[in-house]
Homo-oligomer: A and B are copies of this chain.
Amino acid sequence: MVKTGRPGGERSLIESIRRRAAGRDTRRGSTSEVRLGIGDDCALIRPRAGEELAITTDFTLENVHFRRDWHPPESVGHRCLARGLSDLAAMGARPVAALLSLAVPRELTLASGKTRSWVDRFLDGFLALAAEHRVTLIGGDTAQSAASGPGNEGLVHADVVLLGGVKRGRALLRSGASAGDILYVTASPATAQGAARGKPTYPAATAAADRGGLGGSAAELLALRHDPQAFQRLIRTAPDHPHLYPHPRVAAGIALLRLATAAIDLSDGLSTDLGHLCEESRLSAELDAIPIHPLARHAETAGITPSALDLALHGGEDYELLFTASSGTAIPAKIAGVAIHRIGEMKPRRRGVPMLRVRDRGRLVPLQPKGWEHFTS
């Protein structure tokens, strides 16, 4: 809206992203699929022979998906890419390329002394995860955030598009489950993941209980919200950060193409995402064994939450995969290095019977979806 004509500004932010992306192989023809990257009106992608493209886009909004005073910029960059990678994983698609649209207040583009800018640290997190999954940054958009009132500089808004390759007609869908299929989730022990990186582990009691589970992200967020300063001390010793640095299960998703009948990623919480899977497959589900993340147990012990199980059932953003497989399919204990947990079974949908039920001391009780919902005040 405002034409200024001065140098620098948006152009230099774009150039900085382009330069950093180029250092990580974002250039013309850098892979056989990316025919043209950043720098023209569009990027060009040529899928491999026999493949089609999976596409997903996710918002990351300040004060909705993160808070600048809670989340390090590297975590924000990591998380906004992880969301789309997890969507690709749920379809069994191999990540190929990403587009990053980023609107930030001007102050966040500025370095101060030896401290790098918020945007630079955001890109550190984004590009590190992109490199890990061989994702090429091929485009996007930038803007300066608008103030929404006097005395503020506006908020950070990111929108990330992920493109993946998957064999034609073979992508895992939410709608592919049949009655009688077994329900599984991925979830590796955090202690194992930490140990693999040489990070310290949880105390012995917690570690012993850790066979991997759900609710870790919600528990970490609660700890962050409960006492940000105590959290900052904890953060240095925890082996893994399911909320700040989730691991999208990309390799497991690809391996599941041969094994699963349906899949969805756990972004909104098990109860909500299982509801989506049931609706799309026109089935109901019975849960009997929910693996709980050690951080969720820890949050219950510490009195931060009344119920670790509730975090596992309804806490969002675990970014694990929920999938179904025929009861005749042998599912290994680990897939692509990630532990697999059997949690229940798909059933025909019957009038008068709740879509979701969970076994509680031998009895099946209805389970209401209680995951993430915007637009409810």
Contact = CB atoms under 8 A, between A and B. Distances in A.
A374 B11 CA distance: 8
A163 B40 contact: no
B57 A139 contact: yes
A45 B103 CA distance: 28
B63 A43 contact: no
A5 B64 contact: no
A141 B43 CA distance: 21
A36 B174 CA distance: 12
Contacts of A11: 373, 375
B373 A138 contact: no
B61 A54 contact: no
B374 A142 contact: yes
Interface in A45-104: 45-47, 52-59, 61-67, 87-88, 90-91, 93, 99, 101, 103
Given A45-B52, A373-B11, A374-B142, A91 B59 contact: no
A41 interface: yes
Interface in A304-334: 314-316
A55 B45 contact: yes
A9 interface: yes
Sort A-B residue pairs by CB-CB distance and give the 4 closest, nearest first: A9-B375, A63-B146, A5-B370, A159-B159
A375 B91 contact: no
Interface stretch (A148-156, A193-201, A282-290): A148-156
Interface of A: 1, 3-13, 35-36, 39-47, 52-59, 61-67, 87-88, 90-91, 93, 99, 101, 103, 106, 109, 138-149, 151-152, 154-155, 157, 159, 161-164, 166, 168-169, 171, 173-175, 218, 221, 263-265, 269, 280, 314-316, 368-377
21 contacts: A3-B314, A3-B371, A5-B314, A6-B373, A11-B375, A13-B375, A43-B56, A44-B52, A45-B52, A46-B52, A61-B103, A63-B147, A63-B148, A64-B143, A101-B159, A106-B375, A141-B159, A147-B148, A149-B152, A159-B159, A161-B161
Contacts of A56: 41-43, 139
Contacts of A87: 41-42
Contacts of A369: 5
A162 to B, nearest CB: 8
Most buried by B among A91, A161, A373: A373
A57 B91 contact: no
Contacts of A368: 5
A169 B29 CA distance: 11
B370 A146 contact: no
B61 A173 contact: no
Given A3-B315, A5-B373, 17 more contacts: A1-B221, A3-B218, A6-B376, A7-B376, A40-B174, A41-B56, A41-B87, A41-B90, A43-B54, A44-B55, A59-B142, A61-B143, A64-B145, A103-B157, A106-B375, A149-B152, A159-B159
Contact of A10 (B44, B52, B141, B375): B375
Nearest to A370: B5
B154 A42 contact: no
A248 to B, nearest CB: 11
